[in-house]
Structure 1
Amino acid sequence: MLNMGKFLIISGIILLLLGLIIQFSGKIPFLGRLPGDIRIEGKNYQFYFPLASSILISILISLVLLLINKARQ
């Protein structure tokens, strides 16, 4: 039962961090405008694929999960 409590706490912290990232992502100046982000604009369409931003967020989430895993052991 103790493991379930730790799981719920860690899941809540992760959800809180993700919510903060989503809430304030427009206010982070470099996020979404990195050199590896793909933006194609035409007359009637616009295509945007944040490749570099996605990789950066993935690395940050991986580091957070690694730290949480190290703290559990």
Structure 2
Amino acid sequence: MTEFGKIFIVIGVVFIIVGLLWGFIGKLPGDISFKKGNFSFHFPIVTSIVISIILTLIFAIIGRFK
């Protein structure tokens, strides 16, 4: 398998994971959302942590195959 083939497989896996998680982004328990009048503030802290863990696992798996 060529390098381009491996890169396309990794990109495909990342797109699949992002697609599956897209519906949960910003809606997990622990995400901070505040709205008062015409001001709103949203900080998806738990979503950021989950995405960070997933990306760490993906890059660790990729690193093992190199």
**TM-score, structure 1 as length reference:** 0.68
2: distance between equivalents of 1:53 and 1:18? 12
1:18-37 pair list within 5 angstroms: 18-22=18-22, 24-25=23-24, 31-34=27-30, 37=31
Q: Distance in 2 between matches of 1:52 and 1:20?
A: 17
Distance apart, 1:45 and its partner CA:
2.5
**Partners of 2:24 and 2:3 in 1: CA distance:** 32
- Return the structure number with greater relative CO, CA threshold 8 A, min gap 6: 2
In structure 2, distance between residues paired with 1:18 and 1:53? 12
What is the total number of aligned residue pairs between the two structures? Answer: 65
Q: Which residue of 2 aligns with 1:10?
A: 10
TM-align CA RMSD: 2.1
> Which structure: greater strand fraction?
2
State the match for 1:44 in structure 2.
Answer: 38
Identity between Structure 1 and Structure 2 (%): 31
